[in-house]
Amino acid sequence: MPTREELEVVALSLKVSFWGVAWSLPIAIAAAFVLARKRFPGKTLFDAAVHLPLVLPPVVVGFALLVLFGRQGPLGRMLEPLGIVFAFRWTGAALAAAIMGFPLMVRAIRLAIDAVDARLELAARTLGASPVRVFFTVTLPLAWPGLVTGALLAFARALGEFGATVTFVSNIPGETQTLPLAIYTFTQSPGQDAQALRLSILSVILSLAALALSEWLVRKRSGAVPVHG
Amino acid sequence: MKALAAPLAAALLVLAAPARAEDVTVFAAASLKEGLDAVLRPFRSSRNARIAVSYAGSNALARQIEAGAPATLFIGADADWADYLEGRGLTVAGSRRDLLGNALVLIAPAASKALVKLEPGVDLARALGSGRLAIANPSAVPAGRYAKAALTALGAWGAVERRIAPTHSVRGALALVSRGEAPLGIVYATDARADKSVRIVDVFPESSHPPIVYPMVRLKGSGAATGELAAYLAGPDARIKWRGFGFRVPPP
Amino acid sequence: MVEVDIAIRRGDFAVELAFASNAPIVALFGRSGAGKSTVVNAIAGIARPQRGRIVVSGRTLFDSSRHIDLPPEARRVGYVFQDALLFPHMTVGANLAYGERLTPAAERFVERDRVVALLDLGRLLERRPAGLSGGERQRAAIGRALLASPRVLLMDEPLASLDAPRKAEILAYIELLRDELKLPIVYVSHALEEVTRLADHMVLIAEGRAIAQGAVADVLARAEMRPHTGRFEAGAVVEARVARHDERYGLTTLVFDGGELVVPNVDALPGEPVRARIRARDVSLALSRPAGVSIQNIFAARVVSISHEFGAIVDVSLAIGATPLLARITRKAADELGLAPGGNVHAMVKAVSIDRRSVGFA
């Protein structure tokens, strides 16, 4: 049976990962749509920027976040009067998780949008639908499985996120000590391997639950599989 | 894993040494980086041996050695991890000595006007204001453990326990203060000297924490070259350099 | 009324043409890749011309000189695509409703019940596109386009991906649409059979240009048509009316301005106007009227011109009264008969060769 502290760590991890994915999902959809459907100067650069967190060492990303969003950082200073603070808070952990998972989300969603026959969108427009309406009534429903996959991938990445988190918001129990950080701390202290193992098992259970949920979500909209011809 | 470790390590050593004098591999605590690099420079150029140095947290290094990493010399940041290696029979008997000492200091960003006197009953919480105290993880990293011990001795730990920002390593704590993200931090004196964007607010009394020593010990399987290096690191030429970096040097 | 006058580039291909038509159906006919779909895409607003004007029923959809370019959703153009393009994640009913719901109530003039009945969609409403046959999908696509109350209906090779029975089925529905709804239709096809059956006005398009346009019968008789009609397709279209039925022999007599045409039974009432397509290769010529021969249709005709384009084979353009006819015979026969422009001959057409597919309703 998990102890109260262990449950708090799990709850924090879930909170951080969930909100990280939730906040970045609309942005990922927009980025994926633009990459899939639009042509514009600098598109390659934009694509590369989106994939940056995938190729950079997590610690480097964490440091970049510290420089930009820390209390002394330009963006951090801009957001503080608005009540948005990332430094040393769970919001910062969520931001780190969101950034690290972002490229995975965009890739999956972009693939799904690519697979939607663009002529269906044109057909919808001839029927009187504005481009925005076409997006929400045709493109998005048909890309739904890709959306769920992307969100799941990002969620799983967020659950396991370590390097960027510890570098950006450090390892504050109850605030930024997510599952991976807690597990690591236990392994670094002699004689606490049992706790590390318990938390690892909880971690696996969470990932499996997320996988099952995504399968259910995709199957629930069973008619969403595009059929051509 | 252990059964494979020794032959693996031996294989690595053989592969890494193509018909040359013996190789020396030093595993050293992260806080020694600038000092050790400088001290090694003249030694390297005058000897025909390859010296490789790996810097990391003492805890990580010790675990790696236990898992069979091919180190020949270990310099840790506290006695515990050297005890750990000795307890597992991985060291050369009688080769251990305390190489260096260090001081524990309270730092602030260079531009800060903070004034704190480190004496029993010090009110750190007030000095922190709304910010956090940057220290290395007190449950895992030596610098963090020293910091917690010192604060406890001064009766300040209870008040700041929930106001800390535990970092991955002592350099992480240094970076937070250096960038101004944390108004105060606790690091080694040598770390503070290395970074121009922090200033030392005060030094923790030596009595408030266990002595900070850097034990040096040779590991099983090391050869004569390692012994020579160890002697040099403790010798008069090196001592002058160590002091230059702010380390305390025990009497010979 | 559909007026189109545009220049538009697609890749390395340039289309530049103009046509105007008041007919219920105007057909854009030509080979694949001639540019027909490009024109229709321009009318729909999916492709933008470099310059020009597109006006439908008095409403300007595009005018480069006045910087008018309505987006597709504002053009009220119904588009039936070659492969239906029904939304796979919606039922047929939801597909039908998609455009209907986006049409302001005041502008709706097409009733859902009427369209469902017209196109026989009742049983299909709850089904998904994936489970439908080609013909069912195409009907649903037509219904969906109609329910958006369009001002003009564009059909881009709607029968191309259907097999013969389905083609006939949908052709019948389109004829019904033409007659029931007062909706101009622009019909794109490379199948002459469809064009002759459905259209009154046609535009022959080749390599991005309109090389002939006008009434179907007239265009068909023109020299420019020959490369497009192939070995089996060349022929003429005769506008006629049903005169009477012969119950005993299962035949129908059609009357046109050149005389009477006997064909196998046509399912139409006396007095109804029809169009009969007579393929050139089914027309034989004789200098004198033969007797004791099985051929039911023999007409006195005048030779208008003779082509020399096919080596062993020539096309002889004839006139029966005011009705053009085409006969394809060997050059040897033409020489032996001494055929020359202005000469008189008898044109003979086997009733059997004018099958059900060749007769459509005008």
Residues of C in contact with A137 (CB under 8 A): 98
Beta-strand runs (E) in C64-113: 68-69, 77-80
**Positive or negative torsion for Cα C219, C224, C230, C231:** positive
Helix intervals (H) in chain C: 36-44, 92-102, 112-118, 134-146, 164-180, 192-198, 216-221, 226-233, 331-337
Residues of A in contact with C72 (CB under 8 A): 122, 125-126
A196 touching B, CB under 8 A?
no
> d(Cα C269, Cα C183) in Å, to the nearest integer?
25
Measure C22 CA to nearest chain A CA, in Å.
Answer: 22
Q: Please give the full DSSP string across B82-97, using - where no structure is assigned.
A: HHHHHHTT-B-TT--E
C79 touching A, CB under 8 A?
yes
The reply to whether residue A228 touches residue C45, judged by beta carbons under 8 angstroms, is no
The ipTM is: 0.81
Measure A221 CA to nearest chain C CA, in Å.
Answer: 9
> d(Cα C337, Cα C350) in Å, to the nearest integer?
20
- Return the number of CB contacts < 8 Å for A and C: 68
Strands C51-56, C59-63: pairing kind? antiparallel
The reply to whether residue A124 touches residue C87, judged by beta carbons under 8 angstroms, is yes
Instruction: Give the per-residue pLDDT at C266.
Output: 85
Instruction: Report the chain C residue with the minimal C-alpha distance to residue A122.
Output: C46
Measure C211 CA to nearest chain A CA, in Å.
Answer: 29
CB atoms under 10 Å from CB of C311, counted, come to: 8
Instruction: Give the per-residue pLDDT at B6.
Output: 62
pLDDT at B197 over 60: yes
| Of the partner residues C79, C89, C130, the one whose CB lies closest to the CB of residue A142 | C89
Name the nearest CA neighbour of A161 among A140, A147, A180. A180
Which pair of structure tokens corresponds to residue C162?
């259907």
CB B190 within 8 A of CB B247: yes
Phi, psi of C263 (to 5 degrees): -135, 160
Q: How confident is the model at residue C346 (pLDDT cuts 50, 70, 90)?
A: very high
Instruction: Give the per-residue pLDDT at B42.
Output: 86
Question: Rounded mean pLDDT of A170-189?
Answer: 87
Question: Rounded mean pLDDT of B101-127?
Answer: 92
Residues of A in contact with C103 (CB under 8 A): 128
| Of the partner residues A71, A72, A166, the one whose CB lies closest to the CB of residue B168 | A166
Measure A172 CA to nearest chain B CA, in Å.
Answer: 6
Q: How confident is the model at residue A223 (pLDDT cuts 50, 70, 90)?
A: very low
The reply to whether residue C46 touches residue A126, judged by beta carbons under 8 angstroms, is yes
Residues of C in contact with A120 (CB under 8 A): 85, 87-88
> d(Cα B248, Cα B101) in Å, to the nearest integer?
4
User: Which residues have CB under 8 Å from A221's CB, separation 6+?
Assistant: A141, A144, A145, C89
pLDDT at B20 over 50: no
Instruction: Give the per-residue pLDDT at C80.
Output: 94
| Of the partner residues B84, B168, B181, the one whose CB lies closest to the CB of residue A66 | B181
A92 touching B, CB under 8 A?
no
Measure C161 CA to nearest chain A CA, in Å.
Answer: 9
Name the nearest CA neighbour of A157 among A46, A9, A63, A16. A16
User: Which residues have CB under 8 Å from C235's CB, separation 6+?
Assistant: C220, C229, C277, C278, C279, C280, C282, C326
CB B92 within 8 A of CB B222: yes
Measure C2 CA to nearest chain A CA, in Å.
Answer: 17
Restricting to C residues 192-211, those with a Cβ less than 8 Å away from any Cβ of A are none
pLDDT at A226 over 50: no
Q: How confident is the model at residue B79 (pLDDT cuts 50, 70, 90)?
A: confident
Instruction: Give the per-residue pLDDT at B1.
Output: 53
CB A6 within 8 A of CB A196: no
Instruction: Give the per-residue pLDDT at C310.
Output: 61
Residues of A in contact with B137 (CB under 8 A): 171, 185, 188
> d(Cα A100, Cα A61) in Å, to the nearest integer?
8
Instruction: Give the per-residue pLDDT at B17.
Output: 45
Mutation to test the B interface, candidates A80, A88, A166, A189, most B Cβ within 10 Å: A88
The reply to whether residue C79 touches residue A229, judged by beta carbons under 8 angstroms, is no
On average, the pLDDT of chain A sits at 89
> d(Cα B211, Cα A101) in Å, to the nearest integer?
44
C144 touching A, CB under 8 A?
yes
| Of the partner residues B139, B167, B180, the one whose CB lies closest to the CB of residue A170 | B167
Mutation to test the B interface, candidates A63, A169, A170, most B Cβ within 10 Å: A170
Phi, psi of B52 (to 5 degrees): -110, 140
Q: How confident is the model at residue A17 (pLDDT cuts 50, 70, 90)?
A: very high
Residues of C in contact with A223 (CB under 8 A): 88-89, 128
What distances in angstroms separate CA B40 from CA B72, B243, C133, C139, C350, one per listed residue? 15, 15, 82, 85, 109
**pTM value?**
0.75
Q: What is the DSSP letter of C310?
A: B
Among A215-224, B234-243, C110-119, C178-187, whose mean pLDDT is lowest? A215-224
Q: Please give the full DSSP string across chain B, using - where no structure is assigned.
A: -HHHHHHHHHHHHHHH-SSSSPPEEEEEEGGGHHHHHHHHHHHHHTSSS-EEEEEE-HHHHHHHHHTT---SEEE-SSHHHHHHHHHTT-B-TT--EEEEE--EEEEEETT-------STT--HHHHHTTS-EEEE-TTT-HHHHHHHHHHHHTT-HHHHGGGEEEESSHHHHHHHHHTTSSSEEEEEHHHHHH-TTEEEEEE--GGGS---EEEEEEBTT--HHHHHHHHHHHSHHHHHHHHHTT-B----
The reply to whether residue C102 touches residue A129, judged by beta carbons under 8 angstroms, is yes
The reply to whether residue C46 touches residue A125, judged by beta carbons under 8 angstroms, is yes
CB C336 within 8 A of CB C350: no
Percentage of residues in chain C with pLDDT exceeding 90? Answer: 50
Residues of A in contact with C145 (CB under 8 A): 126-127
Top pLDDT among A134 and A72 is at: A134
> d(Cα C158, Cα C151) in Å, to the nearest integer?
19
User: Which residues have CB under 8 Å from A136's CB, separation 6+?
Assistant: none
Instruction: Report the chain B residue with the minimal C-alpha distance to residue A187.
Output: B140
Residues of C in contact with A128 (CB under 8 A): 73, 76, 99, 102-103, 148
Question: Rounded mean pLDDT of C254-261?
Answer: 90
pLDDT at C163 over 90: no
Restricting to A residues 129-148, those with a Cβ less than 8 Å away from any Cβ of B are none
| Of the partner residues A130, A221, A224, the one whose CB lies closest to the CB of residue C73 | A130
pLDDT at C155 over 90: yes
Helix intervals (H) in chain A: 4-37, 43-55, 58-69, 74-79, 90-114, 118-126, 131-134, 140-142, 144-159, 163-169, 179-188, 193-220
C82 touching A, CB under 8 A?
no
Asked whether C and A share 3 or more beta-carbon pairs under 8 angstroms, the answer is yes
C49 touching A, CB under 8 A?
no
> d(Cα C287, Cα C298) in Å, to the nearest integer?
12
> d(Cα B152, Cα B124) in Å, to the nearest integer?
12
Measure B222 CA to nearest chain A CA, in Å.
Answer: 27
| Of the partner residues B166, B168, B179, the one whose CB lies closest to the CB of residue A70 | B179
Q: What is the pLDDT of residues C11-55, one digit of tens each?
A: 778 999 999 999 899 999 988 888 899 999 999 999 999 999 999
pLDDT at B35 over 60: yes
> d(Cα B27, Cα A176) in Å, to the nearest integer?
31
> d(Cα C205, Cα A124) in Å, to the nearest integer?
28
